[in-house]
Amino acid sequence: MNSASEWHILIEALRQLHGKEQRAAALATIVRTHGSTFRRAGTRMLVYDDGQVVCELSGGCPQRDIVLRSLEAIDTGQPVLVGYNAESSLDVLMEMGCGGELDVLIEPLSTPQSTAFADALAQCLDQRRNAWLATVFAIDGAVVSPTHMVRCGQATLYDGLGDPMLADAIAAAIGTGDFTPATMQLLPSRGGLADVLIEPVEPIHALVVIGSNTAARALLPVVNLLGWRITLVDQDPQRLRPADLPPDLPTVCAGPATIRDALALDAHSSVIVMTHNVEQDIAYLAALRDSPVAYIGALASRERALRMREEAGFGELRLRAPAGLDIGSETPTEIALAVVAEILAVLHRRGGGPLHTSSGSLHG
């Protein structure tokens, strides 16, 4: 799937496609995978008619072939489903070097209607809510012009299907919204069994860093690379002076007593406390104990971590302290990498161990 930051870039590009400066383009989407592949189902790449791309799939041989096929689809105006497997595109499959198989849907985006789903996605994500995107691309095995449906919570924000039976089936398949990786489903429609790609789309992750210091500043470039949003918090306004920080960095001056009112925290947020003052850390942690964030951690020695849990009222697993994965970090930059890696592991429900000792999927 595309990451939240990739989706943000794609949505903006899709919304501008039929604006003042109209551009011809096609959307390439991996709809099925089997075995080891470079990206998972739900991953998308936008291809313009000059060969430029938004959100590269792989940068290698498969991508070059997909771009060429996308240019053909732009010229013909017809969608196509391309299989990369032992029966077709074998030369490209061999060059992929990952041994898996995949199907790629290529849909030309020739009308404003073809990108209308992007506005609905943006509306839901701007509210910091989870969205579901359903893409219908085949009926009884025959490729059709793709149509889309967007669900936000229990509401349908966009329905381009023109098929109430299929819309009801998609809504039932999504259910209560327990987010899982993108899945392919065969669902009943008025024209037959529809191939539908159903995928979650989440808001961009937001990281709140409490404590303006060298360790906090080391987090900035790491978080920016991931496309996350970051907010720096300190109760001393002098430590939030623009001269010491990037001019566009969001900052909040708030102490433990006002931190919950000063921040809009949600399930797509993480907090790392690093004031280097144990009493302040404990006060902030106590104020944030019942917040809905996905991850909360603190820089601390093991002894301090025990005190933090006891005095701030945290359970063993809720507070990640000492924060970060065990990679032998010493410098502020190494610590920043370790902390961000642990947050990613928590978000992806992974243990954070070495890949060569794991037996599960490499990519989620």
Question: At 125, which amino acid appears?
Answer: L
Distance CA 167, CA 156 (A): 9
- In terms of pTM, does the model score above 0.85? yes
Q: What is the mean pLDDT of the chain?
A: 90
Q: Which residue ranges make up each domain of the chain?
A: 4-201, 206-347
How confident is the model at residue 40, as a pLDDT? 84
Average pLDDT over residues 318-335: 94
With bands split at pLDDT 50, 70 and 90, how would you rate the model's confidence at 358? low
| Number of helices (H), then strands (E), in the chain | 10, 16
CATH superfamily of 206-347: NAD(P)-binding Rossmann-like Domain (3.40.50.720)
Per-residue pLDDT for 304 more than 90?
Answer: yes
What CA–CA distances, in Å, run from 47 to 17, 63, 144, 334? 11, 10, 20, 37
Using a pLDDT cut of 90, give the percent of the chain over it. 76
What's the distance, CA 311 to chain centroid? 35
Burial 71-88 (b: 16+ CB within 10 A, else e): bebbeeeebbbbebeeee
Token output for 131: 């969205």
Token output for 281: 């850390």
Token output for 253: 């001056």
Per-residue pLDDT for 35 more than 80?
Answer: no
DSSP codes of every residue in 108-164? E--SGGGGTHHHHHHHHHHTT--EEEEEEEEETTEEEEEEEEEEETTEEEEE----H
